[in-house]
Structure 1
Amino acid sequence: MTETPRETTRMRHSTRELVGWRNAIFTVFFLSGLSLASWVARIPAIRDDTSLNTQGVGLVILSGSIASVVGLIAAPGILARFGARSGMIGALVTVSTGLVLVGLGGSVMPSIPLLVIGLALFGFGNGAVDVMMNVEGAEAEREIGRTLMPLMHAFFSFGTVAGAGLAAAASALSISVAVHLVVVAVLIAVGVVVAVRFVPLREELGDDPHTETPRVPWRDRLRESLSVWGELRLILIGVVVLGMSFAEGSANDWLALAVVDGHGYDETIGAAVFTVFTVAMTAGRVLGGPFIDRFGRVPMLRILAATGVAGLALFIYATEPWMLVVGTVLWGIGGALGFPVGMSAAADVPDRRTAAARVSAVAIIGYCAFLAGPPFLGFLGQQFGILNALLVILLLMVIAGLAAPAARESRRGA
């Protein structure tokens, strides 16, 4: 009996090795989420210690956002030059260094330049590791033969919950920002060093020194990784990820405000509705994998896009509290799987040499939507009202549903 390509690939690793690889990527996603929530949750304390006004906080945050974009763009080159293991260690150690500097500049020795430098390192490291962990997650999923990317992204959410909880505890116990962030930084640095030992060295990334195949120069690997941007199917997968990422990222920044300013409820209701969104999205990612394996990527993406559109419409035009809640749940579920499924689809090609580059390209599109979407909606909200601005998300989710066929499995029978 002839083996399928996937069966041949899966025989390269034992079950124990595959489980270790999977758990290592779960850990990296968790650590990334932990770092993000640890910084965000202490922004009020840092603002008070540095005497920044709201505009100043915004400008400081902008330095981290710009560095994140640079990290996203640099990630394919880092992967080509150093491989996944060293790349992820380097990225998260950079994040840890940034957190230490943020703690020092925002608490012990208040200094805006030190805070900006720390946030730049923090943003660059997180931007780079976002691409790398998705590349490795997609490859581990492919080797295991089950849809795991949604669950991996759920671990990022678990990390944010843990980070927010630790920050709340540190604040309640009057632990300084510096001490809190230094402890988190040490946990992240040690955690990634331990975790990546279970990530296999891979010839196509150029990080396997024991391969008998002549090693392709890293510049050639980088050139090859950039060439994938000319593929129409990859761009359409990027459109799916763009729409879904826009829906998620914009909700993080504007959903609570839309409840307060758009619908006239108080801040407590706004926070509660946002909590409903995060729970719905996390649940969608935890439970979504088996449904994708059962029904396929394209039908699920179409259903989820329609669900998100219905939820957004219900949220925007809600006249009763229950409509807000139901709309928010549907919005969260609708946007839960687009990004991770896009990562899986990008990696689903026979040529493993370009798989990492393809995932990198789609991840860059998705994370740029996270970063650019909220400010764009803010501009539209200022001009036309926040609820009318949310119509842009609705339109993008319609487009994402129409582009869903690009994510079709290359070997459904396997």
Structure 2
Amino acid sequence: MIARATTTDRSHVAVAAVFVVHGAVNGSFATRIPWIRERLGLSAGALGLALLVPALGALLAMPATGALVHRYSGRTVTRVLIALFAASLALPALAPSFGWLCVALLAYGALAGMADIAMNTQGLAIEEHLGRPIMSGLHGAWSVGGIVGSAIGVLAAHADLDARIHLGTMAIILVVAGQLAARQLPAAPPVHDPPRLAWPSRPVLLIGVVGFCAVFAEGASADWCAVYLRDVMGTGAATAAAAYTGFALAMATGRLTGDRVIARFGAIHTVRTGAAVATAGALLVVVARTPLLGIPGFALIGLGIATVVPLAFAAGGRAVPHAGQGIAAVATVAYGAGLAAPGAIGAIADVASLPAAFVVVAMLTALFGLGAGALRSGTDSQRSSYGR
């Protein structure tokens, strides 16, 4: 029993390290987008179009990944996909034209989504063996990786380091780190009759809608918080940037501490409380006309939504016989909000105003609280004892 617990704990550390690597790839790329834009001479419209391509790649690739992680050993699939995703970090900076940039970003996004499904499936399997929640902490590890990757990227950009050298070097480092971590994952055997690609069941779709609402609030806040402070409150660039910092730190903190909260109060109560916190934050943003209220408002949104996506993934994985298939379905629905949110907020702001757009965010955060009971289909009625 002690040996099994030690092995499972080692696997927990390993999958957390894989999440860190995945986050570091994303954080590294984000910091060098301005360099790529300047090198290729892209307009704002062309850059915006190019940055939609990774999300499209992920949405196209994720549905098929659920079957892949069951057809072959989960550890093998995770090792291969995290290596390919880390290696793809070098591609965007090497693109010689807008067309090739889109091709590179399509591969980057598809591999990001596939690796995401694989590592979340591994995380859920380890959570089952441990008998306690770890998914929120794993997503917190992803946030930490993003912060580390972006910090290194900021230093590289400040030193005016060529992004081809920076991203190429980071790709090599993260490929090696990902392999060292993934080799410690449990060697789950393949399923002899793996699931076929199929339309998600109603319970899984409802769980996906809960995730969609949270991801929409995340995307809206991350992409628009600095603009909100500049346009609505008339702040300077540094103060506006602090809104994103507050949001990101609050969300990372909520994820890193979320497992203890979930273990104590249960998934459904945690999501409902998070919905109340996020809705209060969104409404505070709506009425705020000073950064002293606006920044805490965005931080409350981040804190409130922090555990929702990890819990939705876990519930989706438990709602069907093959966890990877459920996670892939929930991720596809939820991450669709990543495509919808920036444009939807901009459209509402054009027609009405940015505060009016965040009324919609408040409505969606309240909605995932009302829909929190959907998580029960993947918790209480399945194998988990903490989904109350």
How high is the TM-score relative to the length of structure 1? 0.86
> 1:70 is matched by which residue type in structure 2?
L
Residues 1:358 and 2:326 aligned together: yes
Deviations 1:198-233 (A, max 9, x none): 222224x43xxxxxxxx22xxxx232x636x12x33
Answer whether contact 2:263 2:386 (CA < 8 A) is retained: no
Instruction: Provide the secondary structure at the position in 1 that maps to 2:161.
Output: coil
Q: Is the 8 A contact 1:17 1:198 kept in 2?
A: no
**8 Å CA contact 2:11, 2:186 repeated in 1:** yes
Corresponding residue for residue 37 of structure 2: 47
> Are 2:247 and 1:277 aligned?
yes
Instruction: Output one character per residue of 1:366-396: Cα deviation in whole Å (capped at 9) or x when no partner.
Output: 2222232222222222222222112222111
The 8 Å contact of residues 64 and 123 in structure 1, kept in 2 or not, is answered as: yes
Cα pair distance change 1:56/1:394, threshold 3 Å: same
Structure 1 residue 256: Cα displacement: 1.2
Counterpart in the other structure of 1:90: 80
Structure 1 contact 94–121 (Cα < 8 Å) conserved: no
Query: Letter of the aligned partner of 2:130 in structure 1?
Result: I
Please name the residue that 1:328 is paired with: 298
Segment of structure 1 superposing worse, 11-20 or 41-50 = 11-20
1:237 aligns with: 207
SS in 2 for 1:241: helix
Shift of residue 179 of structure 1?
A: 0.8
Change (3 A) 1:178 1:358: same
- State yes or no: 1:261 paired with 2:231: yes
Paired with 1:18 and 1:267, the residues of 2 have a C-alpha distance of 46
- The 8 Å contact of residues 142 and 348 in structure 1, kept in 2 or not, is answered as no
Give 1:5's aligned residue.
Answer: none
Q: 1:326 to 1:103 in 2, by over 3 A?
A: closer
Q: Return closer, same or farther for 1:52/1:321 CA change in 2, 3 Å cut-off.
A: closer
Q: Is the 8 A contact 1:150 1:337 kept in 2?
A: yes
Could you list the per-position Cα deviations for residues 227-249 of structure 1 after superposition, in whole angstroms to 9, with x for gaps in the alignment? 6x12x332222222111111112
Q: Report the residue type matching 1:286 in the other structure.
A: L
Instruction: Give the one of 21, 26, 47 matched to 2:16.
Output: 26
Work out the CA distance in 2 between the residues paired with 1:98 and 1:136: 22
Return the offset for 1:98.
Answer: 2.5
SS at match of 1:226: coil
| Alignment of structure 1 residues 200-215 onto 2, 5 Å | 200-203=186-189, 205-206=190-191, 215=192
Matched, 1:396 2:364: yes
Contact preservation (8 Å) 1:72, 1:127:
yes
CA RMSD of aligned residues (A): 2.2
Question: How many angstroms does 1:74 deviate by?
Answer: 2.9
Q: Structure 2 stretches of 5 or more lacking a match?
A: none
Count of paired positions: 382
Following the alignment from structure 1 to structure 2, what is the Cα–Cα distance between the partners of residues 267 and 98?
32
The aligned residue for residue 412 of structure 1 is: 385
Aligned to 1:298: 268
Q: Offset at 1:251?
A: 1.2
How far 1:181 moved relative to its partner?
0.7
Pairing of 1:147-162 with structure 2 (within 5 A): 147-162=133-148
Sequence identity percentage = 28
* Native 8 Å contact 1:30 1:158 kept in 2: yes
Q: How many angstroms does 1:178 deviate by?
A: 0.6
Q: CA deviation at 1:99?
A: 2.2
How far off is 1:164 after superposition? 0.9
Distance 1:148 1:40, change over 3 A: same
Q: Quick one: which amino acid aligns to residue 291 of structure 2? A: P
The 1:328/1:60 distance shift into structure 2, 3 A limit, reads closer
Q: Which residue of 2 aligns with 1:66?
A: 56
Aligned to 1:198: 184
- The amino acid that maps onto 1:125 is L
> Alpha-carbon deviation of 1:12?
11
In the alignment, structure 1 residue 383 sits paired with structure 2 residue 351: yes
Structure-2 residue corresponding to 1:212 = none
Structure with higher Rg: it is 1
**Structure 2 Cα separation of the partners of residues 365 and 257 of structure 1:** 27
Structure 1 position 155, deviation (Å): 0.9
Give the TM-score normalised by structure 2. 0.92
Q: Is 1:36 equivalent to 2:6 in the alignment?
A: no
- Counterpart of 1:129 (choices 111, 115, 118) is 115
State yes or no: 1:14 paired with 2:4: yes
Distance in 1 between the 2:342 and 2:74 partners? 30
Stretches of structure 1 lacking an aligned partner (at least 5 in a row): 1-10, 207-214
The Cα offsets for residues 76-129 of structure 1, whole Å up to 9 and x where unpaired, read as 233244342232233233323432222222xxxx43333222212111110111
AA at the equivalent of 1:66: L
Secondary structure in 2 aligned to 1:265? coil
